[in-house]
């Protein structure tokens, strides 16, 4: 049975993931902001995954997927490809478990990203840019060394791991009316949706993505996975295309996918920095931007928002958003 034949993950998988993450991942705080309550007319609860290890929720999925491996498979070492948070997450989760991790990264990756993976103990293998090249390099490494691949989102253990953020948020704030997360490849929103609908089928699960990278919204409407077209968005964590598993979960459990303008993403990122005094990356601002821009009306409701990460090059952001 291949990975893709496995049934979709369910709530029990998230409970198992929560036990695996206990003591490995941070239980991140939930913050509130009277300023943003005022601006949106809703009662907002921010689950701060920017304070998670490696600065992003991605650590949850990587940690769960690695924790699920048999000793024999784990011993062979782990490989993944990533130009962002997932690579760092795999590197750190592997190192914490005494395992070797190889991260395939495009040659043109920023120095700081290469350094981050290496800093967490990962081995970087450079490849030519482009998804096809990245996947081919991973394939070669697997053939040659027998590594085990941990994909970035389209895997039951990744989805279940990401779902633990919503699980914790709902433990802290059980009576949410709405829960929101950004959607890129769909790992986070899938896990979030499974956790939320199990907790209370009436919770509205809302995904948000940049209008300039609206493949998830288009897929949701058309009923089949639409490829991401050229994606010019500052929310660089949300450029991925949905996977087979994540799309299936989204179709079943997500109520709506809303899209947000670039200006709203930029303004909201800055507003969170200025008002909440926390660093979030632009991808992270998208759900709140949707409320502020009026793409979803949550007035009078209790809304949980997963703040996904805080890995942003401030100078680059300032230059790009001027």
Asked if residue 121 binds a second copy (CB under 8 A), the reply is no
Asked if residue 278 binds a second copy (CB under 8 A), the reply is yes
Helix (H, G, I), strand (E, B), or coil: what is residue 103? strand
Asked if residue 71 binds a second copy (CB under 8 A), the reply is no
How would DSSP label each residue in 34-68?
HHHHHHHSSEEEEEEGGGSGGGBTHHHHHHHHHHT
Whose structure tokens read 């090059």?
Answer: 313
Q: Is 82 a catalytic residue?
A: no
Asked if residue 46 binds a second copy (CB under 8 A), the reply is no
Shortest reach from residue 232's CB to a second copy, in Å? 22
Cα atoms found within 13 Å of the Cα of residue 198, Cβ hemisphere only: 21
Shortest reach from residue 317's CB to a second copy, in Å? 9
CA 255 from chain centre, in angstroms, equals 18
88 close to 110: Cβ distance less than 8 angstroms: no
Asked if residue 314 binds a second copy (CB under 8 A), the reply is yes
Asked if residue 51 binds a second copy (CB under 8 A), the reply is yes
Q: Is 83 a catalytic residue?
A: yes
Whose structure tokens read 């931007």?
Answer: 289
Residues in the chain: 322
11-30 positions binding a second copy, by CB under 8 A: 29
Q: Which of 7, 222, 277, 300 binds a second copy (CB under 8 A)?
A: 277
Closer residue to a second copy in complex, CB, 110/229: 110
Using CB atoms within 10 Å of the CB of residue 322, give its burial: 0 to 12 exposed, 13 to 18 middle, 19+ buried: exposed
Q: Which residues have a catalytic role annotated?
A: 58, 83
Q: Contact residues for a second copy (CB under 8 A)?
A: 29, 50-51, 55, 270, 273-274, 277-280, 310, 314-315, 318, 322
């Amino acid at each position: 049975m291949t990975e893709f034949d496995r049934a979709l993950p369910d709530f029990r998988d998230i409970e198992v993931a929560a036990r695996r993450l206990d003591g490995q991942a941070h239980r991140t705080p939930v913050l509130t902001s009277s300023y943003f309550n005022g601006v949106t007319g809703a009662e907002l609860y921010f689950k701060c995954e920017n304070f998670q290890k490696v600065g992003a929720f991605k650590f949850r999925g990587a940690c769960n997927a690695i924790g699920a491996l048999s000793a024999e498979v784990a011993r062979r070492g782990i490989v993944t490809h990533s130009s962002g948070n997932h690579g760092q997450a795999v590197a750190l989760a592997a190192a914490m478990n005494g395992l070797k991790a190889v991260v395939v990264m495009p040659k043109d990756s920023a120095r700081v990203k290469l350094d981050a993976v290496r800093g967490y103990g990962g081995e970087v293998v450079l490849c030519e840019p482009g998804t096809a090249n990245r996947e081919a390099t991973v394939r070669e490494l697997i053939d040659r060394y027998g590594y085990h691949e941990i994909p970035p989102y389209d895997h039951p253990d990744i989805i279940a791991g990401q779902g633990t953020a919503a699980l914790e948020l709902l433990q802290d704030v059980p009576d949410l009316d709405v829960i929101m997360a950004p959607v890129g490849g769909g790992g986070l929103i899938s896990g979030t949706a499974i956790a939320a609908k199990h907790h209370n089928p009436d919770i509205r699960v809302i995904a948000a993505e940049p209008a300039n990278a609206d493949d998830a919204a288009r897929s949701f409407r058309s009923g089949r996975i639409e490829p991401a077209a050229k994606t010019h968005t500052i929310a660089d964590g949300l450029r991925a295309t949905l996977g087979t598993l994540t799309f299936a979960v989204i179709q079943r459990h997500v109520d709506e996918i809303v899209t947000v303008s670039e200006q709203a993403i930029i303004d909201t990122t800055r507003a969170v920095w200025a008002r909440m005094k926390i660093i979030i990356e632009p991808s992270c601002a998208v759900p709140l931007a949707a409320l502020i821009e009026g793409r979803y009306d949550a007035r009078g409701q209790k809304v949980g928002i997963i703040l996904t990460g805080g890995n942003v090059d401030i100078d680059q952001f300032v230059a790009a958003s001027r």
